[in-house]
Structure 1
Amino acid sequence: MLAAASGLLLVSPGPALAAPAANVSHDQLPTMSAEPDGVQAPFAELADANTGAVRWSRQPNTRAPMGSITKVMTALVVLESGDLDRAITVPPGIIAYDRKYDGSTAGLVPGEVLTARQLLYAMMLPSGCDAAYTLAESYGPGQAGFIAEMNATAARLGLSNTHFTDPSGLPAPNGYSTYSTPADLVKLGMRAMTLPIFRDIVRSQTYHQPAGPANRDHVWRTTNLLLRDYPGTLGIKTGSTDTAGTCLLFEATRAGQPLIGVVLHSSPTSDAAAATDARHMLDWGFGPLLSLIPLP
């Protein structure tokens, strides 16, 4: 069950991100509102990605399902374990797993052999639940072992309101038992984005895996609409289930200032709604000088 809704938390946006250009007077700059307008998500947070200082939040410590944002933790466990060039055979179990939950897939076929690095692209871009299952099976070893490591990593990172029961974020049959909070997910995103390989993966719009002796040809495309539509976007991950609604963990930068944020349940079904919420938050966070700051 969701925790009781807490009040709105507003945190001062702090100093301006940049000084006005010499030929621009303060009278020409729009006034910055006290909070971002038009954000539909009931659970959200925006923070400075360098320091973690919170700029704005809404129910930051309320537990909620987050769908495939869970895969950020799955990727983190794999990356911290290392051996990304190990060859992994896609197991038969992906078929029943995907059918049981109607999960999104990367089009993997049992018996294909891919490296862990390739499977990370398959998991993070098209949100392949088949890839998440395959990685968990190999690195656990087995699903239970891997999920235990996910929860141990959450505890180590101080994510006290986060719990995992699945490597993809798919719900339990009678509800959900994989959950987190906006505050915890921002911390998780900040940790993952310190890893160069992770950053390279989540900022990619497409990844082509050519056919090889033991694998099919694959083209994986990101589900993150911000990467296409919002200049300066660096990632990170979408999420969507019937219970979680549409969710997005995101990071973008302007003039060397990165902001990281998350929205949970922006809409029951529309990925565009989560991206729109994120754009509202980023535009507000980058402030009235947004149009004057050169793109990265």
Structure 2
Amino acid sequence: MRARRAATVVLSSGLLIAASPFAATSAQAAPAVPTISAKGAFLMEYGNGKVAYGKGANVRRQMASTTKLVTAATVLTSPNLNLNRKITIKKTYTDYVIQKGGSSAQLKVGDVLTVRQLLSGLMLPSGCDAAYALAEAFGTGSTTAARTKSFIANMNRKATALGLKNTKFDSFDGISQAGQNYTTPSDLAKLARHAYSNPTFRDVVKAPKYVAVATASNGKKRTYTWYNTNKLLGSYSGATGMKTGTGTAAGPCLVFAATRNGKTYIGVALNGPDRFKDAAKLLDYGFKSTTAKTMQLRSLPAGAQQD
């Protein structure tokens, strides 16, 4: 008897899968490809990089504050990194946040925080002031402008080293100066996978809340309490991070990760009005679950930063 040929099925997401002639039963039981609000999205297995879903996967888009995951990754892969290094907060950083109307970790001029603390101030409340402080501290040059410029150059070198041809940064925080801060869903997922391989990064982004005790300019202690703007944490079973972002050009964005039964998925939703539900639907698609149907998003405390 002649063997039957496997068919190639084109999903609405644009992915190609090979359908075995003997897989009809399992195919019928497989979850439907999700319909999501995001204009661009991507889902991949963390362990092997296997693509599970793509929508506009290679279309360039603004990424808003999801840029900060690359800011964090650039810091964490810097030579001779010392997470306990102390950085003094300058008026330049706080003025910048006011001028740009950016999200803030509410840092106070003259306070001294460690690199580790600033990473949480960067990733949880999406502090542009924390991003500025880290960019200057880890850049090189004789002026603030030169140091931040060199740091952004390092961010771009990281994208190049990872083979990402559709990603460019013109800022350290996602507040684009000339619209030259862009990526694609597939590129951003690869960047996220790179960042997620760092244990300190994973520790930072999984926390729903972080309390930092800093030294104030008067020598006394000041306590900062930051809440993670990623509402998927504590709402979707297994969620482990990563970063939100919102901008006029970018729209609502989210880079996310979740682990169940030893398998981790990393995903991206760019310009997604319902980004958290989008993420839950995509993760359900990967895990073959139905969590999104009943998920209730956690609420952030009154006064907490939104992003």
TM-score range, shorter chain: 0.7 to 0.9
- Identify the range of structure 1 (208-217 vs 247-256) with the bigger mean alpha-carbon deviation: 208-217
Aligned CA distance change for structure 1 residues 31 and 105 (closer, same or farther; 3 Å): same
Match of 1:4 in 2: none
Using the TM superposition, give the Cα deviation of residue 31 of structure 1 relative to its aligned residue in structure 2, in angstroms.
2.9
Aligned CA distance change for structure 1 residues 255 and 13 (closer, same or farther; 3 Å): farther
* Counterpart mapping for 1:233-252 below 5 A: 233-252=239-258
Q: Is the 8 A contact 1:113 1:215 kept in 2?
A: no
Q: Measure, in 1, the Cα distance between the counterparts of 2:228 and 2:289.
A: 30
Q: Secondary structure at the match of 1:56?
A: strand
Using the TM superposition, give the Cα deviation of residue 193 of structure 1 relative to its aligned residue in structure 2, in angstroms.
0.8
Answer yes or no: is 1:9 the counterpart of 2:14.
Answer: yes
Q: Measure, in 1, the Cα distance between the counterparts of 2:90 and 2:84.
A: 18
Q: How many pairs were matched up?
A: 266
Q: Measure, in 1, the Cα distance between the counterparts of 2:220 and 2:132.
A: 19
Answer yes or no: is 1:144 the counterpart of 2:149.
Answer: yes
Q: Measure, in 1, the Cα distance between the counterparts of 2:183 and 2:17.
A: 24
Q: Is the 8 A contact 2:94 2:107 kept in 1?
A: no
Structure with greater strand share of residues: 2
Using the TM superposition, give the Cα deviation of residue 281 of structure 1 relative to its aligned residue in structure 2, in angstroms.
0.7
Aligned CA distance change for structure 1 residues 83 and 14 (closer, same or farther; 3 Å): farther
Larger Rg: 2
Match of 2:285 in 1: 284
Q: Measure, in 2, the Cα distance between the counterparts of 1:279 and 1:288.
A: 10
Q: List structure 1 segments (4+ residues) > 2 angstroms apart after TM superposition.
A: 11-15, 29-34, 210-216, 288-291
Match of 2:201 in 1: 198
Aligned CA distance change for structure 1 residues 245 and 152 (closer, same or farther; 3 Å): same
Answer yes or no: is 1:227 the counterpart of 2:233.
Answer: yes
Aligned CA distance change for structure 1 residues 290 and 230 (closer, same or farther; 3 Å): closer
Q: Residue type of the partner of 1:91? A: K
Q: Residue type of the partner of 2:51? A: V
Using the TM superposition, give the Cα deviation of residue 12 of structure 1 relative to its aligned residue in structure 2, in angstroms.
3.5
Using the TM superposition, give the Cα deviation of residue 35 of structure 1 relative to its aligned residue in structure 2, in angstroms.
1.2
Q: Residue type of the partner of 2:279? A: A
Answer yes or no: is 1:111 the counterpart of 2:110.
Answer: yes
Answer yes or no: is 1:70 the counterpart of 2:67.
Answer: yes
What TM-score do the two structures reach when normalised by structure 1?
0.84
Alignment gaps of 5+ in structure 2: 1-11, 141-146, 293-307
Answer yes or no: is 1:31 the counterpart of 2:29.
Answer: yes
What TM-score do the two structures reach when normalised by structure 2?
0.81
Alignment gaps of 5+ in structure 1: 1-6, 16-25, 268-272, 292-296
Match of 1:53 in 2: 50
Q: Is the 8 A contact 2:236 2:291 kept in 1?
A: no
Answer yes or no: is 1:176 the counterpart of 2:203.
Answer: no
Deviations 1:211-234 (A, max 9, x none): 533652100110001102001011
Q: CA RMSD in A?
A: 2.3
Using the TM superposition, give the Cα deviation of residue 10 of structure 1 relative to its aligned residue in structure 2, in angstroms.
1.6
Q: Residue type of the partner of 1:222? A: N
Q: Is the 8 A contact 1:31 1:288 kept in 2?
A: no
Deviations 1:276-295 (A, max 9, x none): 1101111111115979xxxx
Answer yes or no: is 1:186 the counterpart of 2:185.
Answer: no
Given the alignment, which residue of 264, 270, 273 partners 1:264?
A: 270
Q: Secondary structure at the match of 2:67?
A: helix
Using the TM superposition, give the Cα deviation of residue 171 of structure 1 relative to its aligned residue in structure 2, in angstroms.
2.4
Match of 1:294 in 2: none
Q: Measure, in 2, the Cα distance between the counterparts of 1:242 and 1:68.
A: 12
Aligned CA distance change for structure 1 residues 14 and 91 (closer, same or farther; 3 Å): farther
